[in-house]
Amino acid sequence: MSFLEKFFKLREKNTTVSTEIRAGFTTFLAMMYIVPVNASIMSLTGMPFDALITATAIVTIIATILNGIWSNTPVAMSVGMGLNAYFTFGLVKGMHIPWQTALGIVMISGLIFLALSITKFRVWVLDSVPVDLRRAISAGIGAFIAFIGLKGMGIIVDNPATLVSLGDIKSPEVMLGILGFLLAALFYSYRIKGAFILAIATTSIVAWIFGLAKLPEGIVSMPASISPIAFKFDLIDALKLSLLPVIITFLVTDMFDTIGTLAGIGLRAGLFKDSEELQKTLEADAAATVIGASLGTSTTTSFIESAAGVEEGGRSGLTAVVTGLLFITTLFFLPIYKAIPDNAIYPILVMVGVLMFSELKNINFSDHVIAVSSFITVILMPLTYSITIGLSAGFVLYLILALFKKEFDKINIGTITLALIGSLAFIFH
């Protein structure tokens, strides 16, 4: 028995080294898009794009390999879609919070998550929050980032009379974005491996051919320094009482996102029957967020794209380690990433939004308390440009409706606590 077979318990998990390597490569292709996409989103805060490319790649490498070794599960990790958009558009652009303070918020939420990951807090949260509200949060975030993507593509524009309206779809740039979305949707629907990165590449080539974007100045280069953003988080400013709901939003959303992702992957692969596997994966996820905030990125979380590797037979941490090692290659493609036009990136946000929004199908709308609070959670996130407002309104409304309908079986210390914390979002708004 080889060292890898023994260390990753491959025979116990009924897999082989070759299968794990193939699965790791598949996961890499499925989530490679996160490097240019995250850098494009977070650079809108004023953070340097070059440093963000390097930081995103390094965080993905460290977090994914750490999880593979620590939990021995085929789960890859990187900067979470949704919260990176909220970091940029909700906090920095919406609330006018400096990106250093926003990183401080991410760091605090990560430290709390890390401290609580070794306790039974996870179980308490799961027992406290109705599963349908968790689904509504995921769907709301999907609507939020899809709205950002459509606005970035120019399909939705400002309108003083109606707030928003349809943009100039005859514009070459808008048409490029529509092409990018159609390609991403088609590639995904045909289950093509690396659908999103392939859509980005194809759309970029079209833009370069027709002069809608500058050609890359090269193919490879040495990685940019992360010194402009590493360890720049501002904890003092992030500890304001008015920002407590935001910290809770990052904490709760990361936790729900991770648990939901792991549950989905676990069902496909028969994983997490051993509670220790789940516990260690959550610990790695929390540690990754702390590492990410230190290096200058938003919240790190488990990626649902790991399911692509699982479908290829990945069952152990070796899959994750292979994925992490492959991400080393992304450190050297900066010239290409810098040449990718925005409208090759924004369509991916819309597609990710579609995938997250699909959680709505599992919500029990026959329960009126759930139906109303879920709807408000989902609709307010894009309309207020704030995940915090949507999440907080959902918790508060759920508690109020359950009280007035005397459905006391739906109320517990957890729902009361989250509703009270959520109310701070409106008090300090």
- 40, with CB counted inside 10 A (0-12, 13-18, 19+), is buried
Quick check: 42 and 292 in contact, CB under 8 A? no
Taking 3-state DSSP, the helix, strand and coil percentages for the chain, each rounded to the nearest 5, stand at 70, 5, 25
Per residue in 51-110, pLDDT tens?
999 999 999 999 999 999 999 999 999 999 888 999 999 999 989 999 999 999 999 999
3-state SS string over 43-75? HHHCCCHHHHHHHHHHHHHHHHHHHHHHHCCCC
Q: Are 62 and 77 in contact (CB under 8 A)?
A: no
In which band, very low, low, confident or very high, does the pLDDT at 152 lie, cut at 50, 70 and 90?
very high
Cα–Cα dist 387/139, whole Å: 11
Q: Which of 2-6, 126-130, 195-199, 281-285 ranks highest by mean pLDDT?
A: 195-199
- Confidence label for 264 from pLDDT (cuts 50, 70 and 90): low
Q: Please identify which residue in the block is written with the tokens 């307010």.
A: 380
Distance of CA 51 to the CA centre of its chain: 19
Residue 161 has pLDDT above 70, yes or no: yes
CA 369 to chain centre: 28
Predicted confidence at residue 20, as pLDDT, reads 95
Could you write out the three-class secondary structure of 213-231?
CCCCCCCCCCCCCCCCCCC
Please, which residues bridge with residue 116 across strands? none
pLDDT (tens digit per residue) in 241-253:
889 889 988 887 8
Q: What is the pLDDT of residue 127?
A: 64
**Average pLDDT along the chain:** 90
pLDDT in tens, 19-56: 999 999 999 999 999 999 999 999 999 999 999 999 99
Structure tokens at 28: 């890499």
Q: How far apart, in Å, are the Cα atoms of 265 and each of 186, 290, 318?
A: 23, 24, 16
Q: What is the pLDDT of residues 306-349, one digit of tens each?
A: 888 888 889 999 999 999 999 999 999 999 999 999 999 999 99
pLDDT mean over 130-134: 84
Predicted TM-score (pTM) of this structure: 0.86
What percentage of the chain carries pLDDT values higher than 90?
A: 64
The CA radius of gyration of the chain, in Å to the nearest whole number, is 21
The whole-angstrom separation of Cα 196 and Cα 19 is 23
- For the stretch 196-240, pLDDT in tens is 999 999 999 999 999 999 999 999 999 999 999 999 999 999 999
The span from the CA of 343 to the CA of 208, in Å, is 12
List the structure tokens of 321: 């380690």
Residue 91 CA: distances (Å) to CA of 44, 345, 361, 362, 388: 12, 21, 30, 30, 10
For 289, the enclosing helix (H) or strand (E) is helix 275-295
Residue 157 is given by DSSP the state: E
Q: What integer pLDDT is reported at residue 411 of this predicted model?
A: 87
Output the pLDDT for position 182.
97
Least confident of 47-51, 144-148, 345-349, 423-427: 423-427
Q: What is the pLDDT of residue 268?
A: 59
